[in-house]
Amino acid sequence: MAEKRFLIVNADDFGQSEGVNRGVIEAHERGIVTSASLMTRWAASAEAAAYARRHPALSLGLHVDLGEWAYRDDTWQPLYEVVQLDDEAAVRDELGRQIAAFRRLVDQEPTHIDSHQHVHLKEPVRTALIELAASLDVPLRHFNPNISYCGEFYGQSAEGFPIRGTITVDALEKILTIRPPGITELGCHPGYGSDLTTMYREERAQEVAVLCDARIRAMIAATGIELRSFADFPSSDRPSVRNA
């Protein structure tokens, strides 16, 4: 018997804006999104957390937010910076604030951890988040040997230039068809970006449409892929903070 293929579809940036929240919720209720990662610093994070508390089928992780950068005039320029990424003490202090905010908003521990624009791939954020994930006994994106990350469903290049044809039903079908056995996390960014000033706006609504397309769910069922969330693969019991 062939080894099974499990798919976690995780929506990043939950809580960044009301428009992003609407897109994530739509892609969960009408589409294939099974998990989301919460940005705790933004005003819409309380709304996102309240929805997740009412809908436990959507597992909720922490989307660590230390800043955002856009490629302009042949260089990376900050759209905003929370802390200096090379200041280890400041990074660790901010991580402490964001995990505390998550617990306060959601009343439980995150089911997983990742970071905005993957800033945890470099030191000192890398070590700090590896240690945080280990202390919580939850998966950290890119660093869990049992969960492979796929970021191919994305409409821009590494420098933020549009890539045609990557946010379509056909493209997503191809991505999913070649997933190997085991657990895959598919990253996505559904939303409605009219209330954002960030570099990934128009593409979000395109993602919502594709993630909710009936062809995608039919293809998943036909190929034997099983939709799961991070909560379906717990490393340990995760009681609510209130009851811990």
Tell me the pLDDT tens digit for each residue of 122-161.
Answer: 999 999 999 999 999 999 999 999 999 999 999 998 888 8
Q: How would you classify the pairing of strands 67-72 and 75-81?
A: antiparallel
Which residues form the domain of 60? Answer: 5-232
Q: How many domains does the chain have?
A: 1
In the residue annotation, 12 being an active-site residue is answered as: yes
pLDDT confidence of 76, banded at 50, 70, 90?
Answer: confident
pLDDT for the residue numbered 2: 57
CB atoms within 10 A of CB 68: 18
Position 227 in a domain:
yes
DSSP state of 192: -
On the question of pLDDT at 69 being above 50, the answer is yes
Q: Please pick, among 12, 13, 65, 213, the residue that the annotation labels catalytic.
A: 12
**Is it the case that residue 103 has pLDDT exceeding 90?**
yes
3-state DSSP helix/strand/coil % of the chain, to nearest 5: 40, 20, 40
Q: For 9-41, what is each residue's pLDDT tens digit? A: 999 999 999 999 999 999 999 999 999 999 999
pLDDT tens digits for 163-175? 999 999 999 999 9
Residue 10: in which H helix or E strand, if any?
Answer: strand 5-14
Q: Is residue 244 part of a domain?
A: no
CATH code for the domain in which residue 140 is found: 3.20.20.370
Residue 104 included in any domain: yes
Whether 243 is in a domain gets the answer no
- Cβ pair 17, 191 in contact under 8 A: yes
In a domain, 51, yes or no: yes
Q: What is the pLDDT of residue 183?
A: 96
> Would 242 be classed as within a structural domain?
no
Which DSSP helix (H) or strand (E) runs through 93?
Answer: helix 88-106
Confidence of residue 73 (pLDDT cuts 50, 70, 90): confident
In a domain, 147, yes or no: yes
Q: Is residue 88 part of a domain?
A: yes
